[in-house]
Structures are given as structure tokens and as C-alpha cells.
Amino acid sequence: MLALVVAGTRPEVIKLSPVMRAFEDSDINYIFVATGQHYSFRLFQKFIEELKFPEPDYNLDIGSGSQAYQTARAIEGLEKIISQANPDVIVAQGDTNAVLSVALASSKLNIPFVHIEAGLRSFDMTMPEEVNRVVADHLADILFVPTERSGLNLLHEGISREKIFITGNTIVDATLQNIELAEKKAEVDIPSGYFLLTLHRAENVDSERRIRNILEALEELDEEIIFPVHPRTVQRIESFNLAGNFHNIKQIKPLGYLDFLFVLKNARAVFTDSGGVQEEALTLGVPCITLRTSTERPETLEAGVNFLAGVDREGILKAADKALSGINFNLKNPLGDGQAGKKIVETLLNLKAEGRLDLKKPEKKIGEEKRRFLRVGSELKGKRIYNSNLEIQRVIQSGRELFPGENLILEQDMLIEIIERKFY
């Protein structure tokens, strides 16, 4: 089996690394394509080296530019490589422009697209990442979701249950695989008490008002703030003339992965607008204050470890107070058990063996799809969903929707949606 794996940015290398490890231990061969969206040493190559990720077989060198420019260049480059390599599957992760390009290129060439970390939704379509998530998920053939909740998001949009697999998020694997090494090998000096800050989301840093508000609020905190600054943010701080305004906030270059994990683990709390950092903070038990008005990771809020602060002074300081007032970390990580990479690879191998990766061959085209609702009566009661002959898309029990997972047992009066498909 041959997989084509595509990554464009720092977080994709981190989150794909557990999958690459699992590929190495399996019969799956892979080709690795970098889109070149991140090209600075400290945003890409450093992570390839630290995570022992393979060097790219191809680099599309798309570089920086507008959303359309980056996406279009990557689609063009990918089309050529995919046509030559003819892989069994194409794998991409998350919500960056690389994922959007892969979704479009692979679906037009009828090669199965595997989307890892599918199903996340901020419900804010002004974010470029949300547009990427929605489009990618609708074009994906196999969707690996981190949680039941992200699986339900997909069902609500009509995406077929049979394409969705709950595995946990690979960031948990990466964090657990690397934290000990990070504590041993970190080369960064830390003070005895400090906060950590990361900030790069376009809607925050491209707005002078927002970035100023955020930094001014954080400047009021009683402890030093370590701020490894993303290059997008470096540029904005310069162009908005903010550089000399902050003394409590110590700006440093972006950190390597091991250094970053070490600094995060030892921080009193982290302030961030990053997706991955919210997940790592939960995994490492560090209070997190999210500098955004929404998050596509609500599980971290429900766990009581992440606090959504908004982007104004009062909200930020209030959320900081809450986060610092003591948090119970004795919880099961809702984002997974650190085995997501293995589960993803095992599932791909099973799907291949069952012929389910050939879905797009012309003879397997679906001609008709009918959906209908049923109330569970005595004839179905007690059946395990996956032992029945019915394909069940949605399950509602006492007004609450459940994900039709493999272990779900049908109970009297549940409302279920059934799909019938005809193949011609």
C-alpha cells in the first residue's frame, strides 16, 4: 500500500509525526510532499529534524502569499505528483491551506483522501481555517476524528457515518512521546515563575486593535511572559509600532518543538490563540487561556482546563483569574489515549484489505441514496449497531444525539436514521 502524505506548516509536521512512526512499523510505504507554506528553518526544517520526520521527497515551494495563491499553487503541484505516483491514499492533517489543496487535488483525480483531525468546527466561517475544514471534510473519503463530538459535527452536516473513525488526536501521541525527551534535552533557560504566550491567528494579529488590546492586557499580569513570536506576528508588531511598548512580555524567536514542550510544561499558565497549544496544555495539565472568541476544541473547555477569554482586556484578565485559581487535572484526556497514530494506520490497513479504499472505482458508484427515520421497537432492541444489517447514520435518545459507535446497543424508543444505498 502506498500513501502520499502532505504537510505545509509546523503543526502538521508535529501532528503527523505519530502517523509516520506507525507507517514505519507497518507495510505502508509513503511519499512525503511538503507544500512549502512554511519554509523558515524555525518553522519547518527544525521540526523535521527533531521529530525524525523524513525529508520531503518533493517540495512544492509555494511560499507565502494570499489564500488563493497558496492554495492554487499547491493544487497544481500536487496534481502532477499524484498523477505520477498514483498512490492508494492521500493523507493530510488539520485545517491549513495544504489540507484544502489536497482535498481538491485528490478528489478531482479520484484518489481517496484521508483527513486526519476531521470534524472540528469553530462555526466561524470568517476564519480561513474553518473554510478549509468544512471543504476538506466534505471531500474526504476517510475521516479520522479526535472525539465523538467532532464525529457528531460531521453527521450533522450529512457526512456518511461509515467514513468516520474516532481515534483521538495525534497531538496527544506526539506530546506523550516527546515530553520526557523535552525535559532532558531542552536548551532554553526559564525563570522560576512565568507565563507562556503564543499568538499568530490572522484575525488577532492582523488587526491593530486586537493585537494591541491583547498585549496591553497581558502586560498587566504579575509575572514575566515568555513570548516565542511567529513570523506573521513579528511583522505586525513592527508595522503597528508596538515593539517598544511592552516590558513584561519577553519576545523570543519561535522555539523548537522540544524546547517549546519544556517551556509549556513548566509555565504557570499559557495564553494562546493556537489550536495545537490548547490541546497540548490539556495533555500536560497546564492551565490555558484562549485568546479567541470561539474554539473548535470545546472538549478542552469542558474539561475545565481551557478558558475562552475573548480578545478584550476584561475578558482576558477574568479568564486568567479563573485559570489560576486551581484546576483539577485528574481527568481522562478527552482528546485521546496517545494511540491515535497506530489506530489510524491499523484502520487504513483494514479498509484496504476490505476493498473499501476502492470506493471511487466506477463500478462502485452509488446510484441512489435514501434516508429514513425509524423508532426502535422490540425487533431491533438490544442489537449492537454493527451486527445489524442496517446502516445507521444517526441515533437520538431522549432528545440527545449519540454517535453510532461500534459498541452502541439499540434501546427501545431510540430514534434512528437509516441509510439505504443502491449501487448500479
Query: What percent of the residues of the chain are helix, what percent strand, and what percent coil, each to the nearest 5?
Result: 45, 20, 40
For residues 118 and 95, give the distance between their C-alpha atoms in angstroms, rounded to a whole number: 9
Q: Is 38 a catalytic residue?
A: no
Binding region for ligand UDP (CB under 6 A) out of 273-281, 381-389, 391-399, 415-423:
273-281
For residues 325 and 269, give the distance between their C-alpha atoms in angstroms, rounded to a whole number: 11
The x, y and z cell numbers of residue 24, run together, are: 514505519
Examine residue 43 and tell whether it contacts ligand UD1 (CB under 6 A): yes
Catalytic residue among 115, 138, 156, 200: 200
- For residue 36, the partner it binds in ligand UDP, ligand UD1, none, with Cβ less than 5 to 8 A by kind, is none
First vs last C-alpha separation in the chain: 27
Annotate 53-68 with DSSP letters as a single string: PPPPSEE----S--HH
**Phi, psi of 71, rounded to the nearest 5 degrees:** -65, -45
Examine residue 101 and tell whether it contacts ligand UDP (CB under 6 A): no
Q: Minimum Å distance from CB 404 to ligand UD1? A: 31
Q: What angle do CA 283, 287, 288 make, to 5 degrees?
A: 90
Q: 46 vs 343, which CB is nearer to ligand UDP?
A: 46
- Cell 441509510 found at: 419
Q: Minimum Å distance from CB 104 to ligand UD1? A: 14
Q: Minimum Å distance from CB 31 to ligand UD1? A: 22
Q: Which of 50, 88, 117, 129 binds ligand UD1 (CB under 6 A)?
A: 129
Examine residue 37 and tell whether it contacts ligand UD1 (CB under 6 A): yes
Q: 9 vs 169, which CB is nearer to ligand UD1?
A: 9
Site residues for ligand UD1, window 332-391 (CB under 6 A)? Answer: none
**12 touches 37 (CB < 8 A):** no
Examine residue 295 and tell whether it contacts ligand UD1 (CB under 6 A): no
Binding region for ligand UDP (CB under 6 A) out of 65-73, 250-258, 301-309, 400-408:
250-258
Q: Which of 88, 117, 130, 280 binds ligand UDP (CB under 6 A)?
A: 280
Strand ranges of the sheet holding 391-397, from the earlier edge strand across to the other edge: 366-375, 415-423, 391-397, 400-402
Q: Which of 73, 200, 210, 343 binds ligand UDP (CB under 6 A)?
A: 200
The letter for the amino acid at 123 is: F
Strand ranges of the sheet holding 29-34, from the earlier edge strand across to the other edge: 58-59, 29-34, 2-7, 89-93, 113-116, 142-145, 164-166
For residues 137 and 104, give the distance between their C-alpha atoms in angstroms, rounded to a whole number: 11
Q: Minimum Å distance from CB 13 to ligand UDP? A: 9
Q: 61 vs 183, which CB is nearer to ligand UD1?
A: 61
Q: 98 vs 143, which CB is nearer to ligand UDP?
A: 98
**46 touches 253 (CB < 8 A):** no
Q: 200 vs 343, which CB is nearer to ligand UD1?
A: 200
Q: Minimum Å distance from CB 277 to ligand UD1? A: 10
Binding region for ligand UD1 (CB under 6 A) out of 169-177, 231-239, 307-315, 407-415:
231-239
Q: 43 vs 85, which CB is nearer to ligand UDP?
A: 43
Q: What angle do CA 167, 173, 174 make, to 5 degrees?
A: 135
Examine residue 198 and tell whether it contacts ligand UDP (CB under 6 A): yes
Examine residue 39 and tell whether it contacts ligand UD1 (CB under 6 A): yes
Closest by alpha carbon to 169, among 221, 116, 213, 218? 116
Residues that bind ligand UD1 (CB under 6 A): 9-11, 37-40, 43, 64, 95-97, 128-129, 200, 231-232, 235
Q: Which residues are catalytic?
A: 200
